[in-house]
Chains A and B, each alone.
Chain A
Amino acid sequence: MDTKTFLIIAVIKIALVVFIMLTGVAYTTWLERKLIGRIQNRWGPTRVGPFGLLQPLADGIKFILKEDMIPDNVHRGLFILAPMLALAMSLISIAVIPFGETITIAGHTTALQISGVTHVDGGISDINIGLLIILGVTSIGVYGVALAGWSSNSKYSLLGSLRASAQMISYELALGLSLVGILLLSGTLSLREIVSSQSGTWSLAGHDTHVPHWFIFPQIIGFFIYLLAAFAETNRIPFDLPEAETELVAGYHTEYSSMKFAMFFMAEYVNMFTVACLASLLFFGGWHGPHFSFLPAIAQSLLPVVWFALKVFFFIFLYIWIRGTLPRFRYDQLMAFGWKFLLPLAIANIIVTSLIVAWRA
């Protein structure tokens, strides 16, 4: 593949993935309002289009047309930079997420992933530190929230962003450590290789158990730590203290309006998607699922994407379900839970996993 074809394919992939991602984000807000509505025994949006399906579009137009206010006495440069940073950092992590194996269109074979590279012999390899890139980008994303609160020059914003930074720093540790078990089992940091090592089924004492070779089964503790830390990392209920409206108005984005507010909103939902994608890739076998050999070739290469999307949808649904069910933590409970329960549990999980891996080797 020459440079020109590579660039064209890369641009098409980036445009397509970003478009699908942002549409997904818009319709997740619709799904959330619908589901929360049903949970609370009301209808949710119904007026705009059939089943309220055009509601996200109406919301988007509203966000763009609203007056963009910048209060006096804010730190202007950082005030404008913060939402951009938050959204950009959340979108970057999509670049390393693999959605499926490969696809061949008009003689060109390419990976179903933005950052994959096709070799001359048709093999695919992706960035060999994909997981670390996601962790790094997430940790830079904290600046968006921290700077938003500080530059707003308002006490609610400042308190919200202090809480958010403290919470994200604390839970990032548990999140990172919960993934070490997966790394010990798969022996690689490349997301594509982690998924490949989950193909097939588990065998117990020489017998095929017909249970898919997903890492959730040996790493069930790691999975629960990851799930809880991921909720905290994305500032969702029950960990949404940074924007607790009963005590902080709206937290770090109190002073933001119009598209700048929408950027924080989108960043939160894109982060939800990233976390859901990562959970599907690391614990639920990524794009692995039943094959159907009677399908045409193009459908066969797109079917894994469907399995992947279903798994991601499951996690998004779980997010919304929990939001409709659980109340918020108290701040000291949140910190104690992160440092005194999740972190020791994650370390114990690593020790047990590495002992088992060492014993079997």
Chain B
Amino acid sequence: MVHQVLFIVFGLICVAGAINLLVQRHPINSALSLVVVMASLALIYLLLGAEFVAAIQVIVYAGAIMVLFVFVIMLLNAGAEERTRGSRIALFVGVPATVVLAGTVGWLLVHGSARLGGVSIGSSDFGETHAIARLLFRDFLLPFEITSVLILIAIMGAVVLGKREG
């Protein structure tokens, strides 16, 4: 009971933060809304019993990546963005596409939940540190290592671009 109430509360905060992210005109307010989204996602992970994932979500996303976002916005002293009238394509294609996408996902969740499988709230050990380590370093070792090489290449690319003269 408490779990469901907390889930709804943090789910609503998460969605509200996401909407606020789009509505705000100043980049720093948008970045802070994204922090709220990340933090409430972490709390939802915690409700699912995945403590490790929740802690990593806070440390990596809310604590490291978003701090860098805020840092860069502060460094560049980015001002409030200007509103445009918006493009016609967004109005005539985007809105119906959003409705269709949301409808499809909703219909699938309601009617196909038996096939999709589920996760029960606050149980199981799928989010424990040991379980995650076993998945990352035994079952999915190769994809995990390849991803880290990919990130390394991206870092080197950034250094090369940053060092280029003129």
Contact = CB atoms under 8 A, between A and B. Distances in A.
B152 to A, nearest CB: 14
B38 to A, nearest CB: 10
A150 B55 contact: no
Nearest to A168: B67
Which residue of A132, A138, A172 has the most chain B CB atoms within 10 A of its CB atom?
A132
Contacts of B55: 129, 132-133, 135-136
Given A129-B52, A129-B129, A142 B67 contact: yes
Contacts of B128: 128
A138 to B, nearest CB: 8
Which residue of A75, A136, A162, A172 has the most chain B CB atoms within 10 A of its CB atom?
A136
B41 interface: no
B116 interface: no
Nearest to B73: A150
B35 A136 contact: no
Interface residues of A, number: 26
Interface stretch (B14-22, B57-65, B104-112, B158-166): B57-65
B75 interface: yes
A139 B70 CA distance: 13
A133 B42 CA distance: 12
A33 to B, nearest CB: 33
Which residue of B32, B63, B70, B74 has the most chain A CB atoms within 10 A of its CB atom?
B63
Interface of B: 28, 32, 35, 39, 51-52, 54-56, 58-59, 62-64, 67-68, 70-71, 74-75, 128-129
Given A128-B128, A140-B58, 15 more contacts: A75-B28, A127-B51, A129-B51, A129-B52, A129-B54, A136-B55, A136-B59, A139-B63, A142-B67, A158-B74, A165-B67, A169-B67, A169-B71, A189-B52, A189-B129
